[in-house]
Amino acid sequence: MPKQVIIFIAPPGAGKGTQADLIAGKFGLKHIETSKLIEHKFKTADSSDEKISEEKKKWLEGKLVDPLLFAGWFNEEVGESVSRGRGIVTSGSLRTLEESKIILPELERLYGKDGITIFYITLSEAESIQRNSSRRICQLNRHPIPGFPQYRDLVACPQDGSPLIARELDKPEIIKKRYRVYLEDTAPVLDYLRAGGYKVIEINGEQPIGSVAEDILKYLKN
């Protein structure tokens, strides 16, 4: 059986993608990034598909993609990882109760409940807006580049050398909407997980990236 599933739940801009990349590299896990998966599906979908076109429009407005549609995409990715004997780390999912009720049973079936670790990275709304409005991603592999002063002068990705670009979704007005959506739809998932007997480890996301990573690794090593 593949080793484990590590799930990061956090508001926009809390660094879940960055931390997931670090963990994936350190432990040899596959990183399933929600935003990247959705972007890929929309990019490769049939443009005449009305359902997909409608969901894409919602997504660009800062709303969540239909949980049933996304859960199907997500479980396909998980199945592929299992077939290759790999564990996974996720960033961006679980996003809603409906989605959780579809994805969690599949994760339990494939990895076992004891193989699932959940980190909740906290971040205020003000910090979320500030970070998202100034962050960038690389054009080739979407590696996240935080909007911190030490990265301000970067013009190319340190990992693959591709140009850095701003995401269409990272505008202040859209971030505000995404944070509200997070509070309404994603935050209740944490109570659902705790009630279901999952241990949710809370991490202070207001710290520098390195400090957040140290807190996560400290727990994993123990």
Say if residue 49's pLDDT is above 70. Answer: yes
User: Could you tell me if residue 159 is inside a domain?
Assistant: no
Q: Is residue 100 a part of any domain in this protein?
A: yes
- C-alpha span between 168 and 95 (Å, rounded): 20
Q: 171-198 pLDDT, tens per residue? A: 777 888 888 888 898 889 999 999 999 9
Tell me the pTM: 0.77
The pLDDT, as a whole number, for residue 168 is 66
Has residue 146 been placed in a domain? no
Give CA–CA dist 94/40, Å, rounded: 18
Question: What per-residue confidence (pLDDT) applies to 22?
Answer: 92
The number of domains in the chain is: 1
- The pLDDT tens digits of the residues spanning 145-172 come to 777 777 878 888 988 989 887 776 677 7
SS3 content of the chain, % helix, strand, coil (to 5): 55, 15, 30
- Domain of residue 109: give its range: 5-125+171-221
Structural domain includes residue 93: yes
**Residue 161: inside a domain, yes or no?**
no
Domain contains 132: no
In a domain? residue 23: yes
Mean pLDDT, rounded, of the chain: 86
| CATH number of the domain bearing residue 9 | 3.40.50.300
At residue 119, the pLDDT reads 96
pLDDT tens per residue, range 24-48: 999 999 999 888 888 888 888 777 8
Give a yes or no: residue 156 inside a domain: no
DSSP 21-84: HHHHHHHT-EEEEHHHHHHHHHHHS-TT-HHHHHHHHHHHTTPPPPHHHHHHHHHHHHHHHHHT
